[in-house]
Chains A and B, each alone.
Chain A
Amino acid sequence: MTRADEARGSAREEILARIRAARPTTSVAVPRRYRTAPAVAGAADADLLDLLVDRLVDYRATVRRCAPVDLAEALAGLLGAVPTVVVPAGAPEHWLSAYPGRIRRDGDPVPLTVADLDEPGLAVVTGCAVAVAQTGTLVLDGGPEQGRRLLSLVPDHHLCVVRADQVVAGVPEGLARLADPTRPITMISGPSATSDIELNRVEGVHGPRRLDVLLVG
C-alpha cells in the first residue's frame, strides 16, 4: 500500500464515519404519483408521432416522414449533395442504397479517427434506441445502428433514423426502454445550442449544428 493509497483510505473512512454520525436515521418513502405511463392508455400512435415532430421542429431540427419502403429514397433526399456519409458499424446496408456519395463505415476496416470525422461537409447517419415525444429527445445507447459516441458528435451534420415503434410518450418510458443503462448513453434534443448569451437559446455551438430526423412508419 502506497502513502497515496493510505490517504485515500483514511479520507474514505473519515467521510463515511462523519456521514454516519450526521445523517438522519430514517429512510424516506418516495411517492411516485407522477405520470409514468401514457395519460390515456393506448393513446393513438399517430398523435405521439405528431407530438415528436412538433417538439423536434421547435428545436429547429429538420424532420421528414416516410413509409418503411421509401426509407432509402427519403434518406438520400435529406442528404442531398453531402459528399461523404459516415455510418456506424452495424447500420443496415439498405439505408444508403439510394445515396450516390461516398460511404465510410466505422470499423471497416479500422475505426474512424477524430480527424476523419472532422472533414468538412461530412454527415453521419445513425439510428437511435428510443425517442421521447414529449421532450423531442433522441436517445442513443451505443447499439449497432448508433455506434461510438464520437460518431454523432464530431461531424457537423447528424441524421438520425427513428422507427415509429421506437417512439414513446415521456421520459420515464424512454429510460425504461433502454436495454442496459451502463452503456454510454447520449440524449439529444435538437441541434447543439447555448443559452449563455442573455439567456436566449441560440443554435449551433460545438455539437452538430444540423440535426435531421427521418421518422419511418
Chain B
Amino acid sequence: MSGGAPGGTGAQRRRGDRRGHGNIVAPLPFPAAARRELGNPQLRANLRRATHTIRDRRARVVGETPDWAHLRAAGAAIKDDVLARLPELLEQFEAAATAAGATVHWARDAAEARALVTDLVRGTGSAEVVKVKSMATQEIGLNEALAEAGITVVETDLAELIVQLADDTPSHILVPAIHYNRRQIREIFADRMPGVDLDALTDEPAALAEAARRYLRDRFLNARVAISGANFAVAETGTLVVVESEGNGRMCLTLPETLISVVGVEKLLPTFRDLEVFLQLLPRSATGERMNPYTSMWTGVTPGDGPRALHVVLLDNGRTDTLADPVGRQALRCIRCSACLNVCPVYERVGGHAYGSVYPGPIGAILSPQLTGLDAGANRSLPYASTLCGACFDVCPVRIDIPQVLVHLRQRDVDARRGQPSPERMAMRALSWVMRDRRRYAAALRAARRGAAPLRLLTAGGEVRRLPWPLSAWTSSRDAPLPAARTFRDWWAERTAHGGREDGRDQG
C-alpha cells in the first residue's frame, strides 16, 4: 500500500471534528463489559448453539465452491479499487442515480445524517416509517432521533423487531437477536407484541414467524415512507442492492411512496458486473446459504413500479479517517456478513453487547475504534478483545487481515500514550534494569523464591489465583505460576560442579 497519511498524525487530529459518532462508542471497557455478560449462562448457551449452527452451514456451502479462493481475492481487490477511486466513483454514482430520478444527499457524520433523514420524513407528512434492517442507520442512531421527532419507527426484520419489542440493543450484525432462544422470543412476543394471538403462539420458529407476519402485514400494506440501507451501491449504474431473506425488505422497497436509503460511502462497487462476485461471497458467508431468498436491485425510480421518490444519503461518519490509515483502511472492505463473529472464540463467549457498539466481534473491534478514533468512550479497549487466533481472517470473504489491524491499533494506542505514566511501563523498566546484570538477576530470583516459599505450601498446583495489589491487575484474569523451587541456573551450576557434563545418560 502506498500514499495516505499515517495513523494518529497531526493531520488526522486536525480533522478530528468530523470523527464518527453514534452507537459505535463503547461506554464500558471491554473487560468490564465482558465480565458482566459472562455472568449470564443462558446467553452463552444460546450463542454457542447459534454460532456453531451457522459456522457449520457456512463451511458446507463454501466447501462446495471450488473457486472460493479466487472469489475472495477478487472481492478484496474490487473493494481496494473502490477505496483507491472513491471520489470519482461517488461522483459517478451520484450522477447515475440522479439521472435515474433519485435525490442524492451527503452526510459528514451521524448527526448530519439523522437531521437529514428526519427532515425528509417530516417533508412527507407521514408520522410512521417502516424500516429494513440496516447497519448504517443503527450506527447513526436514526431510530432514536426519529422517535424524538415524534415519528414511529417500525423495524420489519424479524430479529430487529424482537430487539425493538424487547427494548434491547442488537448483539450481532446479521442476526441482532442472536442472544435470544426461541423460548425467550416467544415470551417477548407474548408480552409486548400488540394484538398477538396467544393461543397460536408457541415457541416453534414457524409460529413465531407467523406472528411477525400478522403483526407487520397491515403496516407494510399501508406504509407511505420506508427507510433502508444498502448492501451495495453500483457507481456505473446508480443501482442500490439489498440482500435479505424474509421479504420485509421487498415490502419496504416496493410498496411505500417514498424510500430513503442510508448508504456508507464504502458500499460502492465500480460496475454492475462486480455483483457477480459479491452475490456469491455474501450469502454463503452470512447465513450459510447458496443464495439468500430475496435480493432487490433498484435504480432511481421506475414509473408505475415501486416508490415515486428515492432519497439516497451518502454517509461518511469516520470512514474518511479510517481510509487515512494505510493498515487500518482494509476494514472498509467489510460487507457486513458476520462470518468473523460466528467463528470468534471471544464473541462466542461474551456476545455482542460486550463490545458496546452496533459493530461487535472481530470486525467491530477494528471498525468502531477507527470510525470514532481511539479516544472515544472505551473504544481503545476494543482492539485488545481478541486472542489473535486468526479464525476471523480465514473466513473473511474480502480477506480483511483482522489480526494485523488489531495489533496495529494496539500499537497506535500504546504510541499515543507513551508520555503518560503507566504501571506496566514502570514494571517493564524495572525488569529491564534487573535483567541487564547477571548478579542483580540472580539476587532477584533468590528473593522471589524465598518470598514464594510459604505460598507454595498453600497452593496445590504451584499457581496463585489472586495476588495482592498491584499484582492483582495481572491475576484478575489469569493464574500466576509461582517461581520454581530451584532455578535452571542453580540446577546447571550444581550439575557442572558435580561433573554432570560427562554423564552421557543425562544428556539425552
Contact = CB atoms under 8 A, between A and B. Distances in A.
A45 interface: no
Nearest to A117: B221
Contact of A198 (B49, B157, B210): B49
Contact of B77 (A8, A20, A31, A154): A31
B86 A153 contact: no
B205 A197 contact: yes
Interface stretch (B249-257, B359-367, B450-458, B474-482): B249-257
A118 B221 contact: yes
Interface string A173-196: 001100001111111111111111
B178 interface: yes
A98 interface: no
Contacts of A14: 18, 108
A201 interface: yes
A22 B4 contact: yes
5 contacts: A35-B67, A171-B276, A181-B237, A186-B295, A196-B159
Nearest to A16: B87
A26 B1 CA distance: 8
A105 to B, nearest CB: 15
B294 A186 contact: yes
A114 B292 CA distance: 25
**Among A36, A170, A192, A206, residue most surrounded by chain B Cβ atoms (within 10 Å):** A206
Contact of A111 (B66, B255, B277, B304): B304
Contacts, number: 277
B316 interface: yes
Contact of A196 (B51, B162, B321, B323): B162
A182 B290 contact: no
Interface string A203-214: 111111000000
Contact of B245 (A25, A175, A184, A205): A205
A184 B181 CA distance: 37
Contacts of A191: 293
Contacts of B4: 22-25
Q: Is the interface of B mostly helix, strand, loop or mixed?
A: helix
Contacts of B408: none
A154 B210 CA distance: 15
Interface residues of B, number: 107
A19 B265 contact: yes
A25 B221 CA distance: 48
A153 B238 contact: no
Contacts of B321: 22
Contacts of B238: 182
A149 interface: yes
Interface stretch (B68-76, B390-398, B417-425, B459-467): B68-76
Given A19-B320, A24-B1, A207 B306 contact: no
Interface string B227-262: 000000010011100000111101100110000000
B87 A181 contact: no
Interface in A100-149: 111, 114-115, 118, 132, 134-137, 142, 148-149
B18 A18 contact: yes
Given A171-B279, A195-B289, A205-B245, 13 more contacts: A22-B5, A24-B326, A32-B70, A150-B254, A171-B280, A181-B297, A187-B279, A187-B297, A189-B289, A194-B245, A195-B245, A203-B206, A205-B246
B182 interface: yes
Nearest to A191: B293
A187 B80 CA distance: 27
B250 A149 contact: yes
Given A33-B73, A149-B305, A191-B293, A198 B181 contact: yes
A44 interface: no
A16 B287 contact: no
Given A18-B18, A27-B81, A185-B296, A11 B178 contact: no
B83 interface: yes
A94 interface: no
A26 B2 contact: yes
Given A187-B294, A188-B293, A206-B246, A26 B3 contact: yes
Interface of B: 1-5, 11, 15, 18, 46, 49-51, 53-54, 57, 66-67, 70-71, 73-74, 77-78, 80-81, 83-87, 90-91, 100, 105-108, 112, 119, 156-159, 162, 175, 177-178, 181-182, 185, 205-206, 208-210, 212-213, 216-217, 220-221, 234, 237-239, 245-248, 250-251, 254-255, 265, 272-273, 275-277, 279-280, 283, 287, 289-300, 302, 304-306, 314, 316, 320-321, 323-324, 326, 329
Q: Which 4 A-B pairs have the closest CB atoms?
A: A207-B247, A206-B247, A22-B324, A205-B246
A184 B298 contact: yes
B281 to A, nearest CB: 10
A1 interface: no
B166 to A, nearest CB: 13
Contact of A181 (B107, B108, B239, B291): B239
A87 to B, nearest CB: 16
Given A196-B158, A199-B178, A188 B294 contact: yes
A23 B3 contact: yes
A182 B2 CA distance: 35
Given A191-B293, A202-B209, A30 B78 contact: yes
A23 B2 contact: no
A16 B106 CA distance: 10
Contacts of B280: 34, 170-171
A141 B237 CA distance: 15
Nearest to B279: A171
Contacts of A163: none
Given A26-B3, A149-B306, A206 B291 contact: no
A190 B283 CA distance: 14
Given A175-B276, A192-B246, A198 B205 contact: yes
B138 to A, nearest CB: 15
A24 B275 contact: no
Contacts of B283: 135
B90 A194 contact: no
Contacts of A183: 299, 302
A118 B221 CA distance: 9
Given A25-B3, A197-B185, A31 B74 contact: yes
Nearest to A4: B119
A194 to B, nearest CB: 5
A181 B272 contact: yes
Given A16-B90, A29-B77, A207 B246 contact: yes
Contacts of A136: 290-291
